[in-house]
Structure 1
């Protein structure tokens, strides 16, 4: 294939914004003609939500690239939850799942330390373990920490569809060492 043919093929594969906009309008018009205002309104809302999502992602990309990150532009993009979710959604993210799970845990580690166990790609299940209670041990605090970790994982690695948390009793912690004064012996007790 010649360079000119390859270039023409690449251009044909790239969606045209004007044509895409027309196509979206045609679909919305077809739905509006069905005399079901609820369906038509839902379709228009869906388009607005997606436009807002992609617009926010593009704005974030431009901000991160233009913020003078000192050559760290691509890495700054990969650390951003919104940009990462867009890249993963379109199978464009350069990092594998395990790396992105690690990045997600790093993003919340200060407040909610957790470690990743096995990830089963067939079921989408990730095993997690809290590494530090970080709070009072209250069930509500533990639940909030788990929700924060799961939210980060879902942004960085949406292929994780469920999590299993290792129970607190499953952790192997060192035995408690009691340090106290030596009990009196017969020689010192007299």
Structure 2
């Protein structure tokens, strides 16, 4: 399971517990649980801030490729890279052949164009379909959670190449 899936599962479980508490009708217990989550987030965020501050940028660089570490750093506002760089990192991690068309910060939508089969060099069309979209969304959730939606345009298929070869040699006819 990917780190994005792990993080989503953990978030889902926290929401489930909070929902059960809210459903119990005990408002005090629900408020206490929400405060506990907030305090723990602040505590772990402060710890991560101290770690990143002591490590410095050079020591942090190799950690930025790890989707779980990147996700935690971004969640706590500690990721040293800007959004554009993190989007590029996510697209590279997803390994899906796409062209970036633009990002609308007001809506959180990233516009991409799926490159035609073979654009990645393998001829397999790995960026097509649900698996390619899922890989993109998982990587973006880890590296650039500011991206809340993906508008994935499909490129028109390229015209097939005309194969030109030589005709088999035939002897010349003598009249």
TM-score interval for Structure 1 and Structure 2 normalised by the shorter chain: 0.5 to 0.7
Q: Give the Cα–Cα distance (whole angstroms) in 1 for the partners of residues 97 and 109 of structure 2.
A: 19
TM-score, normalised to structure 2, is: 0.57
**Structure 1, 157-166 or 38-47: larger mean CA deviation:** 38-47
Q: Are 1:150 and 2:150 matched, yes or no?
A: no
* 8 A Cα contact 2:100 2:111, kept in partner: yes
Question: 1:180: which partner in 2?
Answer: 165
Question: 2:97: which partner in 1?
Answer: 113
Q: Give the Cα–Cα distance (whole angstroms) in 1 for the partners of residues 137 and 112 of structure 2.
A: 9
- Aligned-pair distance for 1:72? 5.6
Question: 1:3: which partner in 2?
Answer: none
* Residues 115/137 of structure 1: CA separation in 2 closer, same or farther (3 Å cut): closer
- Structure of greater Rg: 1
Q: Give the Cα–Cα distance (whole angstroms) in 2 for the partners of residues 156 and 80 of structure 1.
A: 9
**1:86-128 per-position Cα deviation (integer Å, ceiling 9, x unaligned):** 222233322111100111111121xx33332211112211111
**1:31-74 per-position Cα deviation (integer Å, ceiling 9, x unaligned):** 99xx735983796499579959x86xx79xx8xx99xxxx9631
What are structure 2's unaligned runs of at least 5 residues?
1-20
* Residues 149/51 of structure 1: CA separation in 2 closer, same or farther (3 Å cut): same
What are structure 1's unaligned runs of at least 5 residues?
1-30
Cα RMSD for the two superposed structures: 4.6
Aligned length: 146
Q: Give the Cα–Cα distance (whole angstroms) in 2 for the partners of residues 181 and 174 of structure 1.
A: 22
TM-score, normalised to structure 1, is: 0.53
Counterparts in 2 of 1:163-178, with a 5 A limit? 163-169=150-156, 173=158, 176-178=161-163
